[in-house]
A and B are shown apart, each in its own frame.
Chain A
Amino acid sequence: MEAVKQELKEKIISVLNLEDVNPEDIKDTDPLFGAGLGLDSIDALELIVMLDKDYGIKLLDPKEGKAIFESIETMAKYISENRTK
């Protein structure tokens, strides 16, 4: 689980091109959207593709992402429980 969290932080920074952010800046429970990292709806779509491509998890409705992408913690948990690769 810890490894997945670290991996996610690195991936999010790279996929979303967050140049000035370091993995250690992102706390596991920080909100990713809105006030926290400041991600938006387009980033959510990028993350949906990342789930599909890297973990074999397909989300068909972007609304499903809302709860999953709340924080690194929620994402890591969802991935650990649902990954197919």
Chain B
Amino acid sequence: MNQGVAITGMGIISAIGNTVEENFTALTNNKVGISTIDNIVTIHSDSIKVGEIKKTNEALVAELGLPADNNFSRTAMLGAIAAKQAVKNAGITDINEYKTGLISSTSVGGMDMTERYYYEYFKNSSILKYVESHDGGDSSQKIADTLGITGIVSTISTACSSAANAIMLGARLIKAGKLDRVIVGGTDALAKFTINGFKTLMILSDTDNTPFDNERKGLNLGEAAAYLVLESDEVVRKEGKKVLAYVSGYGNANDAYHQTASSENGDGAFLAMQKAMKVAGLGVDDIDYINAHGTATPNNDLSEGRAIIRMFGNKAPDFSSTKPFTGHTLAAAAAIEAVYSVLSLQNNVIFPNLNFKTPMSEFDLLPQTSLKHKPIQHVLSNSFGFGGNCSTLIFSKSE
């Protein structure tokens, strides 16, 4: 196998916790973060449930110590909080001691402010500062500034697979020697825009989402941010860094089937998994756990399940979707699930696929529905998005 790129730090904020530890506690104690929506006024508040971070924007501003005239969107604030944690966790004191970059991701960027002030801009000049926070790249600028990163900074936006692609690019930049260190991940805040968007597609569940269940009704949206610190072997050696895990494989493919729907047999998903296995130099027997995309939409779970069967035959590894805990956090999903994958490796534990009752009629796949302890060497994590974007990451144990 190929060792891959070292992960030396991670940070997260999600509906199930404001730190890595809190997220782990929630995942191992069935503490879910799905609730009714508090921070956004929407006519759908009675008919949807979300994975919301129960902190107001004011609380986030205070936590980050931002000045009153700041123009951070919620997306940027969540990102800054998680990225700061990651850098701290990696024991970094001087960010520019090594060639350091930031590869972030978001789906709708500062849409939370744009939708709030859209028509008001013409009446109130004090909010004009938010016009520039709309761009996808703005949240990354703010995170870069918060961390003091000045070199390579970029943002990927490939809908719900975004953060997987940010992690992938980060790993490539380290491998190519372009960077010694890179902060990678994603951030997305809940917004009316995405709530209504998924509502029009009729794939929002009015109850807790139930991945891989025959009666699944759709997804719960969520918000989150998570970042990993990736460092070159040289930095790890020089600094005597503790390696949490390795990004050992990655693959991206396009389903080329439909703008939003996944192909019947999961062509893109299959190709992404296949490429990632090849990069990692692993065989199907080596994967101990799949953190599935598992959004609980009828289309995703069928397509992903079939792709898993194509890849692994009838001996699929243990798999679960953690989205019943967090909701589907769009661009951030692959980043929080990367953190969960590392936690799985570190603690030799598989997190349960909650809310599962009835096996799907189309195949025999059964998700792991309770917490399971077993030795875990390699975790495969899937993330798929609109536009046929399919990504797979493989994380491997550090020793």
Contact = CB atoms under 8 A, between A and B. Distances in A.
B43 interface: no
B353 to A, nearest CB: 24
Contacts, number: 12
A48 B260 CA distance: 18
Nearest to B259: A42
A49 B200 CA distance: 9
B261 A45 contact: no
B263 to A, nearest CB: 13
B202 A42 contact: no
Nearest to B261: A41
B68 interface: no
B203 to A, nearest CB: 9
A77 B218 CA distance: 30
Contacts of A40: 258
Interface string B187-200: 00000000000001
Interface string A37-70: 0001110010011000000000001100000000
Interface residues of A, number: 8
B201 interface: yes
Contacts of B259: 42
| Interface residues of chain B: helix, strand, loop or mixed (majority) | loop
Interface in A17-37: none
B202 A62 contact: yes
Contacts of A49: 200
Contacts of B200: 45, 49
B12 to A, nearest CB: 34
Interface centre among B202, B260, B261 (most CB of A within 10 A): B202
Contacts of B260: 42
A48 B202 CA distance: 10
Interface string B300-317: 000000000000000000
Interface string B248-287: 0000000000111100000000000000000000000000
Nearest to B200: A45
B204 to A, nearest CB: 12
B264 to A, nearest CB: 12
Nearest to B201: A45
Interface string B352-369: 000000000000000000
B398 to A, nearest CB: 44
Nearest to A44: B202
Contacts of B201: 45
A41 B260 CA distance: 10
Nearest to B206: A60
Contacts of A61: 202
A41 B201 CA distance: 9
Nearest to B217: A61
Contacts of A41: 258, 261
Nearest to A40: B258
Interface string B168-207: 0000000000000000000000000000000011100000
Interface of A: 40-42, 45, 48-49, 61-62
8 contacts: A40-B258, A41-B258, A42-B260, A45-B200, A45-B201, A48-B202, A49-B200, A61-B202
Given A41-B261, A62-B202, 10 more contacts: A40-B258, A41-B258, A42-B259, A42-B260, A45-B200, A45-B201, A45-B202, A48-B202, A49-B200, A61-B202
